[in-house]
Amino acid sequence: MFNALVVNKDDEGKTSAAVTQISEDQLPAGDVTVAVEYSTVNYKDGLCIGPGGGLVRNYPHVPGIDFAGTVEASDDPRYKAGDKVVLTGWRVGEAHWGGYAQKARVKADWLVPLPAGLDTRQAMAVGTAGFTAMLSVMALEDHGIKDGPVLVTGAAGGVGSVATAILAALGHKVAAVTGRPEASDYLLELGATQIVARDEINETVKRPLEAETWGGCVDAVGGEMLARVLGQMQYGASVAAVGLAGGAGLPTTVIPFLLRGVNLLGIDSVMQPYDNRLRAWERIAKDLPMAKLEAMVQPATLSDLPALGKDILKGQVRGRVVVDVNA
Ligand code: NDP
């Protein structure tokens, strides 16, 4: 028997989450059984732990959209007992039991070997949010980052914190947008060169085009913020659209695309093919300064998760929460 955070749904549709003992034969089918060491708290996890169950597809359910650990048993020749692995995406923690347990069983195709230079805790300090930040930076690079500062929205959150640290380490000027003035020192420590107040950007869109300001953007917020940012991009610059923490609507016009050649790049971390995942993790190990990663980390245990799930949905979590499932 081992510990897991199990989400249940009662006959009236009400969900509840509690740390529970489960056994290995309850785990879903898969090729590889992993002794999980660390998982994290992402926005999607907040939805899955919270009332209504968010994106959960089956009950009882073990959420946790990412984890890192050691292979315990494998029916797939690519992995053997003792290998260190990391998992993000593939609807794990939504449709398939995830990382909020001391063991997980998954398809071998969903795993990536831990790259040299990262341990399992560091991998989860990065987690899905940081992996997505890296995918965003890679997408911006593929389309060319211009000279102006690169804007990061939702900067004090998970995606934003890692994007800020990576872009700064790569030598870009980073303008970090935050609604939390108290996070300014933290963002400067991660390498931001400029702090932009959320209200400064997040007003009603008055004009489709404003001064050409940003050489690229990683946007974790969407909504009015993204609409406004599109009109502030330099000619031919790109926005990597990652999230919707500020809303799913997009009240914009075609003008930034027609008259400024702005590229809007959609970033999806869930269905990334193996080669892309491996490339992104290798870039993380190479380009993300580990001291900066440590500054982002807040430790947690399985029993902290119900409260942390609420906090992340309110935009109150700073940086990355690393869950030690064995603590
Ligand atoms: P966090 O909650 O850690 O960060 C989101 C940040 O957005 C907050 O910290 C806050 O930053 C800002 N924010 C929150 N609410 C608002 C608002 N109403 N208006 C403006 N800004 C707001 O979440 P993550 O960083 O983990 O994820 C961010 C988004 O990216 C989520 O929507 C998530 O679902 C999505 N995502 C998408 C992925 C993909 O594959 N496309 C993968 C991972 C995440 P501050 O306080 O600094 O303003």
CATH code for the domain of 99: 3.90.180.10
Give the pLDDT band (50/70/90) at residue 46.
very high
Supply the pLDDT for residue 205: 58
Give the pLDDT band (50/70/90) at residue 122.
very high
Question: Considering the domain boundaries, does residue 197 fall inside one?
Answer: yes
The closest-lying atom of ligand 1 relative to the alpha carbon of residue 42 is 26
The closest-lying atom of ligand 1 relative to the alpha carbon of residue 135 is 40
Give the pLDDT band (50/70/90) at residue 94.
very high
Using a pLDDT cut of 90, give the percent of the chain over it: 92
The closest-lying atom of ligand 1 relative to the alpha carbon of residue 198 is 48
CA–centroid distance, residue 77 to ligand 1 (Å): 38
Among 45, 91, 135, 159, the mutation site with the greatest number of ligand 1 atoms within 8 A of its Cβ is: 159
Are both 252 and 317 inside the same structural domain? no
Number of domains making up the chain: 2
Query: How wide is the angle at C-alpha 296 spanned by C-alphas 295 and 297, nearest 5°?
Result: 100
Cis before 299? omega within 30? no
Query: What is the arithmetic mean of pLDDT over 257-270?
Result: 98
Task: Write out the two tokens for 100.
Answer: 């909020």
Hey, how many other C-beta atoms are within 10 angstroms of the C-beta on 56?
20
Ligand 1 pocket by Cβ (under 6 Å): 42-44, 128-129, 132, 154-160, 178-180, 183, 198, 202, 220-221, 225, 242-246, 267-270, 312, 315, 317
* Domain housing 198: 128-266
Q: Choose between 54 and 32: higher pLDDT.
A: 32
Supply the pLDDT for residue 162: 96
Supply the pLDDT for residue 204: 60
**C-alpha distances in Å from residue 230, one per residue of 102, 216, 236:** 43, 10, 11
Residues with Cβ within 8 Å of residue 23, at least 6 apart in sequence? 1, 2
Are both 103 and 147 inside the same structural domain? no
Does 116 have pLDDT greater than 70? Answer: yes
Question: Considering the domain boundaries, does residue 66 fall inside one?
Answer: yes
Q: How far apart are CA 59 and CA 49, in angstroms?
A: 12
Q: Choose between 278 and 201: higher pLDDT.
A: 278
Does 248 have pLDDT greater than 80? Answer: yes
Does 155 have pLDDT greater than 80? Answer: yes
pLDDT digits (tens, 9 = 90+) for 97-109: 999 999 999 999 9
Supply the pLDDT for residue 54: 76
Per DSSP bridges, beta strands 320-324 and 297-300 are parallel
CA–centroid distance, residue 21 to ligand 1 (Å): 32
Chain mean pLDDT for the chain: 95
Q: Are 308 and 326 in contact (CB under 8 A)?
A: no
Query: What is the arithmetic mean of pLDDT over 17-27?
Result: 96
Question: Considering the domain boundaries, does residue 6 fall inside one?
Answer: yes
pTM: 0.96
The closest-lying atom of ligand 1 relative to the alpha carbon of residue 247 is 18
Are both 81 and 186 inside the same structural domain? no
Supply the pLDDT for residue 203: 66
The closest-lying atom of ligand 1 relative to the alpha carbon of residue 183 is 47
Helix 158-169 / helix 274-287 crossing angle, nearest 10 deg:
60
Question: Considering the domain boundaries, does residue 231 fall inside one?
Answer: yes
Question: Considering the domain boundaries, does residue 274 fall inside one?
Answer: no
CA–centroid distance, residue 179 to ligand 1 (Å): 11
